[in-house]
Amino acid sequence: MTVGVWILGDQLWENQAALNRIDDKSSLPIILIECWQHVQQRRYHQQKLVLIWSAMRHFAKELRGGGWQVTYTKSEDFEAPLKAWIQVHNITEVRVMAPNDRPFLQIVHNLRLPCKTTLIPNNQFLWTETEFKDWASSRKRLLMEDFYRASRQRFQVLMDSSNKPIGGKWNFDKENRQPPKGKLDTPKPLWFEPDTITQEVIAQVKSLSFPTYGKIEPFRWAVTREQAMQVLDNFIAQCLPAFGPYQDAMVTGEETMWHSLLSPYLNIGLLHPLEVIQAAETAYLEKNLNLNGVEGFIRQILGWREYIRGMYFYVDADYFEKNWFNHTQPLPEFFWDASKTDMNCLRQVLTQVEGSAYAHHIQRLMILSNFGLIAGISPQELEKWFHSAFVDAYDWVMQTNVLGMGLFADGGVLASKPYAASANYINKMSDYCGGCKFDRTVRSGENACPFNFFYWDFLARHRDKLQSIGRMSFILLNLDKMPPAELATIRQKAAEWHLGSQ
C-alpha cells in the first residue's frame, strides 16, 4: 500500500492534517497542481493568481528541502496529472486535507481516480465543522457575539483566573470607531520585492489568454511562511499598539492604516490562527498594550473569521442563492473599472482594489457592500465580484460575509440589521466626501450624493420588511417624517440612475 498526499493551493502548511500523520518523509509522494481551468471560473485579480502560484512553488521548494518527495505540475485540469502521478508512484490511496470550500469539495468527489481517495479532517481552523455544528444546533440564535464569547472561554484567550473576560467586558468596539482627525501617523506596511520564482509567475500570469482583473505590478505580497511571519511580527510591533481607535477610519492615500494584512496568509495556510491570536495576547500581557485594540483584533480572528467559516458549512446549500430583498440590478461597470464612477469614495476604494487586490473591512462593508445593498444590486453578482477581486477571497470567506453581513440577503441569519448608510456615515468615517463632485448634504437635488438618494429609496422600497427588524424602527420614523413630494423625487432619481447606468 502506497499513500500519496495532494496539497491544495490554500493548504500550504507543513503541519496540515494530510502531512502531519506521516513519519517517513522520503517515502511519501506529494503533488501540487497549478490548474488553469480552475482559475478561469472567475475573472480573478492578477495579484491573487501570482500570490497563490508563487506561494505554491515556494512551498514545494521548502518541502523538497525538508526531505519530502514532491511533484509539481501545471495542467488544464486536476484529474489528468493526478492519474499520471498515481501510476508513476503505484499509489493506492490519495489523501487530501478536506477543502475549505464547498465547490472544491465537489471537485474532489467528482474525480475518477484509479485508487482510494481519503479526506483528512481540516486543521487550519480552531473549530472543526462538527464542533461548530454542535455549538450552533443547541442555540435559538446564531449571533457572532455569542460564538466569540464561547471561543474566548474555550481557548482561554483574554480571560482572567475567574474565567471572566479581562477588563470586565467582552467587547470594546465602541472605543474602536473613532473618525479620522488631523494628520494620522500611520505605520508603513511591510512589503516584499518579488524574487526569481515570483517574477516567473508574474510573467506567466501576464501571458494568460483568458480575462483577468486588476494590475499585476507592483506585486508586494509575502509568498513564504518566513515572510508571512515577518508580516505578523511587524504588525505586533508597529501596528497593534495603536490598532484600536481607527479600525473603521478611511483616509485617502492610506490603504492599510493599522490593519494587519494577515488574511491572505491565514487563508492559504502560511499562518495558523492560533499563533496569530497568541502573538497578540502575549504582546498585550508583556507590553501593556491598550486592551481595546488587542481585543478588537483578536475578535476579528477568533470571533468573526471562525464564525464565518463555521456558518459557511452549517447553512444549507440554498443559502448561497438567498435574496431576501429580491435585488436584481446588474453590477455596475465601474466595479471592474474605477475610472467610470464620479463617486469619490467608490473610485478611491475601487482604484485601491485594482492596484493591490486589497481593501480593509470597513471599505468593503460600508463603501462597496453598502452601495450594493442600497442600490439593489444582485447579491450573487456582487459576491462573484468580491470573490474575483480580493487577494484573500475564497468561497467560504465571501459567501457568508457578502451575502449575510454585507447585503443582508439571508434576512438576518448573520446580522441583526442591514448595514445600510447614507453619505453621513462616509463623511464621518473618511475624508472621501471632500474630494467628490456630489454633495454629501443633498439627497434629492441635481448634485445629490447617490448614497443619499439610494439610502432613502432603499428604506422606502423595503419598509414592510424592515419594520420587522427592531433596530430599524428609529430610522423608519425618520423616513415617515419625510415630505411625500421629496420622497417621490428621491425615488425617481434612484430609478433614473439605474436607467442611465445600463
Bond preceding residue 218 cis, omega within 30 of 0: yes
Give the span between the Cα atoms of 368 and 40, in whole angstroms.
Answer: 24
Residue 502 confidence (pLDDT): 43
For residue 213, give the DSSP letter. Answer: B
Residues in the chain: 502
Q: What is the DSSP string of 143-209?
A: -HHHHHHHHHHHHT-SB-TTSSBTTS-S--GGGG-PPP-S---PPPP------HHHHHHHHHHHT-S
Half-sphere exposure of 32 (CA within 13 A, CB side): 25
What are φ and ψ of residue 57, in 5° steps? -65, -40
Task: State whether residue 33 is helix, strand or coil.
Answer: strand
Tell me the torsion sign for CA atoms 342, 348, 349, 351. Answer: positive
Tell me the torsion sign for CA atoms 409, 135, 362, 456. Answer: positive
- What is the 3-state secondary structure of 72-131? EEEECCCHHHHHHHHHHHCCCEEEEECCCCHHHHHHHHHCCCCCEEEEECCCCCCCCHHH
Instruction: Give 10-residue mean pLDDT values along the chain (502 residues).
Output: 95 95 83 95 97 98 95 97 97 97 96 97 97 94 94 97 95 90 90 98 97 98 98 97 93 95 98 98 95 96 97 95 97 97 98 98 97 98 98 97 97 93 97 94 93 97 94 92 95 90 52
Cell numbers for 485, please give them: 413630494
Give the span between the Cα atoms of 181 and 179, in whole angstroms.
Answer: 6
Cβ pair 242, 258 in contact under 8 A: yes
Q: Which domains does the chain have, with CATH numbers?
A: 3-120 (3.40.50.620), 129-314 (1.25.40.80), 321-501 (1.10.579.10)
What are φ and ψ of residue 24, in 5° steps? -95, 100
Q: Residue 177: count other Cβ atoms within 10 Å of its Cβ.
A: 16
Q: What share of the chain is helix, strand, coil (3-state, %, to 5)?
A: 50, 10, 40
Helices (H) and strands (E) in the chain, counts: 21, 5
**E strand or H helix that includes residue 32:** strand 29-35
Strand partners of residue 251:
254
Residue 501 confidence (pLDDT): 62
Cβ pair 117, 111 in contact under 8 A: yes
Give the span between the Cα atoms of 229 and 265, in whole angstroms.
Answer: 9
Residue 305 confidence (pLDDT): 98
pLDDT digits (tens, 9 = 90+) for 287-342: 999 999 999 999 999 999 999 999 999 999 999 999 999 999 999 999 999 999 99
Give the span between the Cα atoms of 502 and 493, in whole angstroms.
Answer: 15
Cell numbers for 151, please give them: 471561543
Q: Residue 117: count other Cβ atoms within 10 Å of its Cβ.
A: 14
pLDDT digits (tens, 9 = 90+) for 137-193: 989 889 999 999 999 999 999 999 999 999 999 999 888 889 998 888 999 999 999
Give the span between the Cα atoms of 446 and 113, in whole angstroms.
Answer: 63
Give the span between the Cα atoms of 259 and 494, in whole angstroms.
Answer: 35
